[in-house]
Each structure stands twice: as C-alpha cells, then as structure tokens.
Amino acid sequence: MTSRVNWQAALDAAQKITQRWNQPGEPGGAITLFDSSTLRGEACGGLANLTTGEQFSIDSVVRYASVTKHIFAALALLRSHAGLSTDDPLGQHLPQLKGPMAKVTLGQALDMTGGLPDVRETLSLLGISVYNVTEADALIDFLATDGSLNFAAGTEISYSNTGYRLVETILKQKGILFEDLLQRHIAQPLDIAFHAPESWFDIVPNLVPGYWKSATGWKTAAAGLHLSASGSLTGSLRSLSSWLQSLLKDSGPGAGVLKHLSQPRFLKDGTPTAYGLGIAHSKIGGHQLVGHGGSHAGYKTYFLLHPELQMGAALVSNREDTASFTALLEVMSALLETPLPARSTSLKDGLYASKAEPYWLSVNNGVASYLGASENLYQAEDGSSVSLSAHLPMRLEMNGDAIEGEIGLARRFFAPIEANDCLNMIQGRWFHPESKAAFDIEGDELKMGIGPLRASGKLVPVGEGRLLVKMPDGPWEKSFCLYFQGYDVHLISNRSRVLIFRRDECRISWEPTA
C-alpha cells in the first residue's frame, strides 16, 4: 500500500460534487479535507437557506443524524462512568423489556447484530407518519409491549437505531444525559458548538433548514420522532472536522476512542463483521478506512478517516437527494490515488424472492434493493457482486436464473418471482390488536390511515402468500411485504419484521348496546 496522498486531486473531486449544487434556488452542502492538525481544503455549494439566500459554508449548522452514533457510544462506554459493559443484557438495566429483546447485549444493540426492530420503520408500518410527534417514554413503552426481534440476536447484521435509543434510556435512568456528557467531554474542551436536541422542534442556534424535492419543488423537511442519541447531534462541518481531527490525533477528547469503537465485532458463530460500535469499516484498494453516515429528512452526512495516514474527509448537506457515501468514496479515491472497484451489472435485472420466506430482492442496473433498502453493487475479484456497506453487506452471484449469496452475512437464495393471484382471499380489514392499527385491502390496493391522511399503495403479488407494496411517507417511499399465513399477516421491511396483523372477521360495531 502506498502512503502517497494527493490533496489537490481530492479537492478537485470535492469541488466537482459541490458545484452540482450551485443551481438557482437549490440547497447544498460542503466537504472538508483534513489531516490530524490542519484543514487541508474545503468545497461548498448551494444555499444554506432558501428563504434568505444564505450560501452554504463549513460553518452552516446541520443535523448530523446517525453520525451521532459513534460519539454517543464513546461517551456512554468511555466517559459516562455508568458502569456499562457491552456484555450486559439490556434487560439487566431495563427490566420492562420482554422476551428475546431483554437478552440482547449492549454490544449487540450498538453493533447492529441485535435484531432490534427500528422504531421509526415500525411506526411507519403502523401508519404513523414521519411528521407525527412522539415522545421518548411512550416509545420505550411501545418497545416493551412485545419484545420480538427481527432475527435471533447475533445471527446477522442489519441496521437499526433502536439500540442507541435503549442505551440512552439506561443512562437517563441513572441521571446521565447525553447533552451533558457531550458538552463536558467534547464541545467545551474542543470549543465547538455541538448540541443534542431531543426533538426536531427544539431551538438549535443557527440551524439551517433541511430540504427535500417534491413534484412541485423544494420543501422544508420535518420529522416528529423523538430524536434520541441514535441521531440527535447538530453542528457545523467545521466543528465535525475538529472532532474528527481529535480522533486521528488520538489525544484530548478523542483519546482512545477510535481504537475502542473500531475493534472487531462478531456474530455468534464467530463470523467477523465490518461494523463496530457506531463505526463502519471500509476499504479502497489496500487502504483501511473507518467512518459513518447519517440521514435525517432533508439532511445527509458522512465521514471517512484513514487512521494509519491520519487524514480524512467529511461531508454535510441540507438536501435529501445527496448520495453522501458515494460522494466521499470518490473524494477518498482521489486523495489516495486508488481507483474504486468497477460497478457491477452482472446480476440480471428483475424481482426475486426467497422460497417459503418473506424476503425479496430487486435488481435494477447495478443497484440491489433488499427488503426495500438499496445498495450500489461493485465487481469483486472473485466475480461476485458486492456492496461496500458495513451494515448491509452483500455478496451475490447468479445461479442460473436465481441469485444466491450473502446479505447481512446471512445466506440467502432468491428465485425469480412466481406470482399467483391470492387477492381474492385477503380482501377486507386487517387489525393489529396491540396498537389498534388497521389497514384495508380493497381490490389490488392497500389503504391505511384515517380521513384526509388515508394513503394507498398498489399490491404486487410475489408468490407463496406474499405481496409487495410501496406507499408515501413524507419525503420518502416506504416499501414492505405482506406475508400471509392463515389468519395472520406479517409486515416485513428491512428494519422492522415484527408486526403481525390479524383478519378482522367481526368488523367491530360502534353502535351502542341496549
């Protein structure tokens, strides 16, 4: 591996990305390049505020979203003095948790192997909009009502925000607040403006709006979910870069953090993962990188560090359409003078499904979408198609007309769909007793919600009692599977696979009794 770096090539790549945002009346973002002591370059484009026309700069304050995770993990495990161990079962600290959820360890909750259903995605499947306001205590009560997992803890890796929410709750019950830890151990020592608001509507000094583009133009983004330490952090790109330099120096507030968070993690069978504790491992050629991304409605963030060479890059943006991981890979590729692997289109386009399982895979022009979550595919040396994601690793290849390989480090086999017409057997209302949520199947449409908030999506049969549906959810589109088994239907998406609705045979009458 060469240690040569090309700062000018990296800056040129960064400017090429940010210049695309220099369109009239459009939001933008910024990219920084740095070593452990010096800001080596910056590139900015677009607007920080579409109302005032303020230009985006590295001092524009944004929501970092899931970039928060590594900072919270560091504070909770290394600075809180709460006596937490990654081997502790969650139920040891949160006795209200039930079933298998209580047995998930803190380490599994933070390293994405715990199988914990993601709160936001679960609420979405119940018909609760991204805009609906939810509070922290009510969400913990909601999680504690069932205790089911997406998969047995330690058997695969799949992204979820819920583990960080639960560990933050443990600290709160001990009287320890994330914001206090943040100020005491990072913001004040580095003299940077980090904050961790608990709701979208809390006042954050100088926060710029996030935006998403609808069919009629740019819209201001909003979200009602209690933010939690999975993604609550705010700050500027300059502040984020200062913190990342502290990590590279391995001194001051960042002392020991990267080493601890990036230690290898394993599935129960000993299979190593590429995701640590809020830190993801990546490779470009022979170069080993660590980093993480973040995505809130209207905001995108990513950073990549090369600890051995003590240098890195970071990106923030206030526009929903930013492909932050792809952009930073291009910048780091230029910096290291190491090409990225070629994109792969060896998988045949189409819709595939597992046999006797509620799992599906869509392939379109080198992009694979598993349970609704998409990843770019690249050509591996062994000829297979791989993703570069640590939390959704894919290694797939064609087997005749089928696709086989690994997703999330679990073996998967997908065959072309064999659709059958089961719609006539599933018409009517389906009800979730625990939450009182319901949806109706009318013809080939699923309808969910009440009054003017009622939304619908077209059902696509994919065989063996399974139908796919896509529906709007604010700036996004939610994609999930209905998996029918007798009088039950399981709702399956990438981050939530625990909801079971039942046929409402009696169609509850609301007429008063005599």
pLDDT in tens, 307-348: 999 999 999 999 999 999 999 999 999 999 999 999 999 999
* Token reading at 138: 């009510």
With 80 as the cut, is the pLDDT of residue 493 above it?
yes
Give yes or no: residues 429 and 406 share one domain.
no
Residue 19 inside a domain? The answer is no
Residue 397 inside a domain? The answer is yes
Tens digit of pLDDT for each residue in 86-127? 999 999 999 999 999 999 999 999 999 999 999 999 999 999
Distance between CA atoms of residues 430 and 426, nearest Å: 9
Residue 264 inside a domain? The answer is no
Q: How many CB atoms lie within 10 A of CB 259?
A: 11
Give yes or no: residues 450 and 431 share one domain.
yes
Pairwise pLDDT comparison (225 vs 505), residue with the higher score: 225
pLDDT band at 189 (very low <50, low <70, confident <90, very high): very high
* Token reading at 486: 């007798």
Reported pTM: 0.95
Residue 404 inside a domain? The answer is yes
- Looking at 416, 432, 465, the residue that finishes a domain is 416
Count of domains observed in the chain: 2
Give yes or no: residues 479 and 428 share one domain.
yes
Residue 389 inside a domain? The answer is yes
- Looking at 379, 399, 416, the residue that finishes a domain is 416
pLDDT band at 3 (very low <50, low <70, confident <90, very high): low
Give yes or no: residues 364 and 384 share one domain.
yes
Which residue do the tokens 């360890």 mark?
105
Residue 248 inside a domain? The answer is no
Give yes or no: residues 392 and 438 share one domain.
no
Tens digit of pLDDT for each residue in 460-478? 999 888 999 999 898 999 9
Tens digit of pLDDT for each residue in 12-49? 999 999 999 999 999 999 999 999 999 999 999 999 99
Task: Provide the mean pLDDT of the chain.
Answer: 95
CATH number of the structural domain spanning residue 455: 2.40.128.210
CA dihedral of residues 234, 237, 242, 248 (deg, nearest 10): 100
- Looking at 382, 416, 450, the residue that finishes a domain is 416
Closest CA to 241 of 4, 59, 12, 21: 59
Give yes or no: residues 355 and 408 share one domain.
yes
Give yes or no: residues 427 and 499 share one domain.
yes
Give yes or no: residues 439 and 497 share one domain.
yes
pLDDT band at 486 (very low <50, low <70, confident <90, very high): confident
Question: CB-based contacts of 376: which residues, under 8 Å, 6+ apart?
Answer: 326, 343, 366, 367, 387, 388
Give yes or no: residues 451 and 434 share one domain.
yes
DSSP string, 209-247: PPEEEETTEEEE----S---TTT--EEEHHHHHHHHHHH
pLDDT band at 511 (very low <50, low <70, confident <90, very high): very low
Tens digit of pLDDT for each residue in 366-406? 999 999 999 999 999 999 999 999 999 999 999 999 999 99
Give yes or no: residues 465 and 405 share one domain.
no
Give yes or no: residues 427 and 490 share one domain.
yes
What is the model's pLDDT at position 512? 34
Residue 429 inside a domain? The answer is yes
Give yes or no: residues 458 and 404 share one domain.
no
Residue 27 inside a domain? The answer is no
For 367, the domain range is 350-416
